[in-house]
Every structure is written in structure tokens, then in C-alpha cells.
Chain A
Amino acid sequence: MSRAALRERVAGLDARLKLGGALLSLLVALAGPAPHTASTVAALALLASLAVGERAGVLLRRLGVALFSGLALWALHGLLRPEASGAWRLGLVLGTRVAAGATVFGLLIALTPPWALVGALRAWRVPAPLAEVLALAVRYATVLERAAHTAREAQILRLGYRGVRRGVHSLGALGGLTLVRAFDQAHATAEAMAARGCRGAHLPPPGERP
């Protein structure tokens, strides 16, 4: 089976299964005997990432964070208490834990779109109002992001970020504008929901498979 086909197949799995598997792997990595369990989980997730065709650069960046965290903890302990031994082990434990976390979580979000993960949470009986807020936020995050991006480009064209003082002023205005647009969008969404018969109660759970 080619990498693309395998990736498609894994991406098509039920989001509840993927989220559950990822959470279980993360908990095993954190709770198991360190650093063996975490390094095993990290190695397996790395192999799985390679099998589904994740780019090497992305994987290296994820592992770089882990290497960095481990090195930093080792250096910190070495610097604070040079007479104490075992600093390398602390660094190794932290590094492998972060490696496991970064690779497992990275694989999960690479193969599962955010809306599917929100659907999985809804299927796991997250309180309905919270699920509704989550679903709306996921849906409109990119819309608001585009609006803010357009406004920022206009500010840049008007030299709004020339100098720190002017830049901070422009950023404040951009933040305010984003919130005003969020408020307008909320009005439009509330009106659309009301037009469909919603009167303040939460939306019915979706029938689609997460």
C-alpha cells in the first residue's frame, strides 16, 4: 500500500478512535516508567508519521523541541547544582516525554481536521452548550482570521506599523476591530439560528458521523 493510500485510510478513520488512541498514548507516555515508555511511544509515533508520509522537516522540528527541552533541563540542573548527579537523566526523561507528546499530538492533528475532533468531543457527551460554542468557534475562526488579516494588510499599506508607538496603536485598533467583527458575526449567526427556530436553547446534536 502506498503512503498516500495509507494516509487517506488513516485520515478516514473515526475521529473518536483517533482521539482516544492519541489520548491513551499520551497518558501511557506520561505515566509509564520513564524514559523507556515515553521513548517507545515517541519511536512508534515517529514510525507511524513516516509511514503516512509526514514531511521530514516537520518531524525534525517536533523532535527539535524535545531535544531542546531535554538539553535545557540538563543544563539548568547542571548550572544550579553542579555537584549533584543525575541531571542528564532528568533531561532525558523530559526530552522523551516531550518527544512522545509532540509526535503523537502532531500525528493526530495532521490526520484529523479540527471539525472532526470537535465532532468526536460532541459524541463523547461534552455539555451541549460547550459543544455548540466549540463548533461555532471552529467554524468562524478562519473567517475572523481572514477578516483580521485583510484589516492588517490595509494598516500595513497605510504605514500603520512604522515605529513601535504607531505599531502598538494599530495593533490595538486591529484587536478592537476583530472583536467588533466577532460581535457583528455573532448577531448574524444568532439571527440565522433564530430564523431556523432556535430560541436560545442549544442546537440539536448533529446526525453526522464525527
Chain B
Amino acid sequence: MPGFSGRGCGAVLRHCVQACLQSAPLPPSAGLAALVLLLLPHPAHAMHLAEGILPFGWAAGWTLSVLPLLALGVTRLRQRMAQSPLYSPFVAMLAAAVFVVSCMPVPVPIIGTCSHPCGTGLAAVLIGPVMTVLVTFVALLLQALFLAHGGLTTLGADIWSMGVVGGFVGYAIFHALRSVRASLGVAAFAAGMLSDWATYAMTSFELASALHGAQPLGSTLGTLLLSFLPTQLPLGLLEGAFTAGAVVFISRRRPALLKFHALPAAPATP
């Protein structure tokens, strides 16, 4: 998946260069660099901005701006914990599950490589968008600590793209479609797919705003969005199918889990 992180940056940058090749004349030195970048084999594997990719101001800005949402999530968590002792273990397990889900390899048919689902659209369907921000923070921290994907200074930007934008879009789409009586599978598919695409649109914006230099922001953003298309179109569809499959599976095996957001169930305590 796109993002300048670990092995994933290669695929993103190759597509950036591919997009540029189609739109601008090629100087010899840049052509040589482009050839090197295009030939390097990199699976599209990461969704996060790597440590150091954002300048100090942007890293601090994204981090500070996400703090109120995290605080809101903690307040909501505190309220729910008072209602049900199951809630905080469930949020923790969900964060661990999102971490595990985001490590699952998914074959991407068009580009012949593997990627992985974001899982935040699915989390938003289960526990709502505000708690998804918290779950994303924990899952991203786990990925950074266990796998060195992402980083500490880029955590705020990554939470914005995956947790805030991806979570809120997934939640809104799911409930909008359910309110017009769309089936569970269709609503979950659309939520997963659009939350994935929204995540990448936001990632593109974050990268473009930080790295456009003397270029107009719009043209850099357009280039990045175009460069993400070859991977993101199939990946969004796969994420949608994954989310639909997971939600339908849960609705058959544990239907209570889908109502957990509205009414937390209390466990049988001695």
C-alpha cells in the first residue's frame, strides 16, 4: 500500500515516476534515476509515512491537531469503561486485531504483488469513528514497535489518514447505506473500499503538502493521486471485499459484536 515506509515506498515512488514520465519531458539524469527506481523490486507493503519523511513543522502540526480527537476518544473510553468492564479489553483486543489484520498479505492482481488491508473501516463499523481514532493510535504504535512500520514523529499524520479520515468515511458510508436498507455485505463493502481510498487521498495530501517545495500544491497532489491509482483501485476493491467478508462472517457467528458500538454487553462476573 502507498506510503513512504519500509519496503512500501518503492512501489509508491515507482508509480510516482511512472505518472511523471507520462506528463513531462525527461532530462537524461532524471531518466537514469527513474529507470533505477522503476527497476527496483518492492512489494507494496506499507501504509504509513516513514520516520523522518515529514519536516518538523508538518510532523508537529499533524500530531498536535490529532490530540483533541485522541482526548475525546479517551474520554469516551472512560465513560464506556464505567458502564461495562468488557469495553477496555475489547478496544485493546480490537486494536491488536487491527494490527494482526493489517499484517495479513493480500495478493494484488494487477500489479502482481502483495499488500495488506488497513482494517480501520472495519473497526469503524464495529466501534464507531471516535474510538477508531484510539484503536488506530494503538495499532499504529504496535506496528511501529513490532515491525518498524511508520514512526513516532509521523504518528500524528498516520492517525489522521487512517484513523480520522478512513474511520469517519467508513462509518458514514456504512450507516448511510444501512439507513437506505442496503444489505450488510454491500454496506460493509462500500465502507471498506471508500475508507481505503479516503485514507490514500489523505496520505497523498499529507505528502504533497510537506514535499511539494516550489511546485504548486495542486499539481504535486494530482501527481501523487494519479500515481496511487494503479495500486489503490484494486486495493480498495480488495479492502471492500475483505471488510464485507469479515462483517458477514461476524454477523453469522457473533451478531452481538455488530451491536457492541451501540450497547456494550456486560460479561458474567462472579
Contact = CB atoms under 8 A, between A and B. Distances in A.
Interface string B83-114: 11111111111111101110110110100000
B17 A179 contact: no
Instruction: Determine chain B's interface SS by DSSP, over half rule.
Output: helix
Interface residues of A, number: 87
B211 A73 contact: yes
Interface string A79-122: 11110100000100010011111101110010000100100000
A30 B59 contact: yes
B48 to A, nearest CB: 12
B101 A175 contact: yes
Given A22-B152, A130-B77, A200-B85, A180 B250 contact: yes
Contacts of A137: 92-93, 95-96, 99, 138-139, 142
From A22, A132, A152, name the one whose CB has the most chain B CB atoms within 10 angstroms.
A132
Nearest to B143: A141
Interface of B: 4-6, 9-10, 13, 16-17, 20-21, 24-27, 29-30, 33-34, 36-37, 40, 50-56, 59, 70, 74, 77-78, 81-97, 99-101, 103-104, 106-107, 109, 117, 119, 122, 126, 134, 138-139, 141-142, 144-146, 148, 151-153, 211, 213-215, 219-220, 223, 238, 241-250, 253-254, 257, 260, 267-270
17 contacts: A29-B52, A65-B50, A71-B36, A75-B20, A76-B223, A78-B27, A79-B20, A109-B148, A137-B96, A141-B142, A143-B96, A144-B93, A168-B242, A171-B242, A172-B241, A186-B90, A200-B83
Interface of A: 22-23, 26-27, 29-31, 38, 65-66, 68-69, 71-82, 84, 90, 94, 97-102, 104-106, 109, 114, 117, 127, 129-130, 132-138, 140-141, 143-145, 148, 152, 164, 167-169, 171-183, 185-187, 189-191, 193-195, 198-202
